[in-house]
C-alpha cells in the first residue's frame, strides 16, 4: 500500500519537477541578412534596432543606416568588390557591436545564397548555401576609433563605386549602324 501511495505521489509530482527544468535558451534573432552577387548587393534589417552597414576600401569608409525593416540595394561591376569590405554594426549602450569584416569579393565568389548576422555581444554569422547553414568566421573589426557615430536621421551620400573605365567611342566605324529598312511588302508564302 505504501509503495502504491509513494508511486502515485511521485507520478503526480513529476510534472511539477519537470516544470522547474531550465528550458533550452531560445536562439538569438537575426539582425541583418545580405546577398552579394556579381552585380547586385541586397541587405535587409530584420531587427527592431537601426543597423549600420560600414563599407571600407583601403582608407575610404562610408556607411548606410538601415532602419528596422529597411532594405538597401546597390548595383556595380564585379571588379568593384575586389578589396571592398563590409561590417554590420549597431550602437547599444554607447558601444558598437559589430559582426566583424566580410571581404565582399570572397563572399561573392563563394556562391553563398545569403549571409545572416545573428544578434549577440559577439554576433554569429551564417552562410546559407542551398538549404545548408554553416557558421562562418569573420575578420576582426576594422572600425577606426575616430569614426564619428552616425545618427539614424543623417542622410549620407550614395555609395560611390570604385573607378571603372568606360569605353565611349567618338568616331563610329563605317558599317556600325543598323541598315535602313524599306517599306516593301513581304513576298507571298
pLDDT tens figures, 73-104: 999 999 999 999 999 988 877 777 888 899 99
* Domain assignment of residue 176, yes or no: no
Q: 43-75: per-residue pLDDT in tens?
A: 999 999 999 999 999 888 899 999 999 999 999
Q: Which residue has the higher pLDDT, 150 or 94?
A: 94
How far is Cα 142 from Cα 130, in angstroms, rounded to an integer? 30
Return the DSSP state at 47. Answer: S
Query: What pLDDT shows up at residue 153?
Result: 44
Instruction: Give the whole-angstrom CA distance, residue 54 versus residue 85.
Output: 8
- pLDDT for residue 30: 87
Q: Which candidate, 143, 57, 29, places its Cα nearest to that of 95? A: 143
- In angstroms, the CA 35 to CA 44 distance is 9
Does residue 185 form part of some domain?
no
Q: What is the pLDDT of residue 121?
A: 64
Quick check: is 99 in a domain? yes
- pLDDT tens for 154-188 read 444 444 444 555 555 566 566 666 667 777 787 88
Specify the pLDDT at position 84.
Answer: 94
Residue 89 lies in a domain: yes
Q: Measured in Å, how far apart are the chain's first and last C-alpha atoms? A: 104
* Helices (H), ranges, the chain: 2-19, 104-109
Write out pLDDT tens, residues 98-145: 888 999 999 999 999 999 998 876 668 889 988 888 888 888 877 766
pLDDT over threshold 90, residue 36: yes
Q: How many CB atoms lie within 10 A of CB 45?
A: 26
Residue 37 has pLDDT above 90, yes or no: yes
In angstroms, rounded to a whole number, what is the distance separating the alpha carbons of residues 13 and 11? 5
Query: Residue 108: inside a domain, yes or no?
Result: yes
Whether 170 is in a domain gets the answer no
Please tell me the predicted confidence (pLDDT) of residue 17: 47
Residue 92 belongs to a domain: yes
pTM: 0.64
* CATH code for position 116: 2.60.40
Range of the domain at 95: 30-136
Total tally of structural domains belonging to the chain: 1
Residue 36 lies in a domain: yes
Q: Is the pLDDT of residue 147 over 60?
A: no
**For the chain, what percent of residues have pLDDT higher than 70?**
65
Cα 108 to Cα 36: distance, rounded to the nearest angstrom = 5
- Residue 6: the pLDDT is 43
Amino acid at each position: 500500500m505504501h509503495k502504491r501511495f509513494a508511486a502515485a505521489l511521485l507520478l503526480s509530482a513529476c510534472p511539477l519537477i519537470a516544470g522547474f527544468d531550465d528550458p533550452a535558451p531560445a536562439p538569438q534573432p537575426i539582425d541583418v541578412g545580405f546577398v552579394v552577387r556579381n552585380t547586385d548587393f541586397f541587405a535587409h534589417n530584420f531587427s527592431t534596432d537601426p543597423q549600420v552597414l560600414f563599407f571600407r576600401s583601403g582608407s575610404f569608409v562610408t556607411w548606410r543606416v538601415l532602419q528596422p525593416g529597411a532594405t538597401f540595394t546597390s548595383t556595380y561591376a564585379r571588379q568593384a568588390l575586389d578589396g571592398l569590405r563590409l561590417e554590420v554594426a549597431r550602437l547599444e549602450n554607447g558601444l558598437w557591436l559589430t559582426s566583424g569584416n566580410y571581404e565582399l569579393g570572397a563572399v561573392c565568389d563563394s556562391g553563398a545564397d545569403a549571409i545572416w548576422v545573428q544578434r549577440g555581444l559577439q554576433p554569429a554569422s551564417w552562410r546559407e548555401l542551398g538549404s545548408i547553414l554553416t557558421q562562418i568566421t569573420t575578420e576582426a573589426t576594422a572600425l577606426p576609433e575616430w569614426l564619428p557615430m552616425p545618427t539614424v536621421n543623417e542622410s549620407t551620400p550614395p555609395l560611390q563605386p570604385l573607378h571603372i573605365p568606360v569605353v565611349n567611342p567618338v568616331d563610329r566605324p563605317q558599317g556600325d549602324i543598323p541598315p535602313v529598312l524599306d517599306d516593301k511588302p513581304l513576298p507571298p508564302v
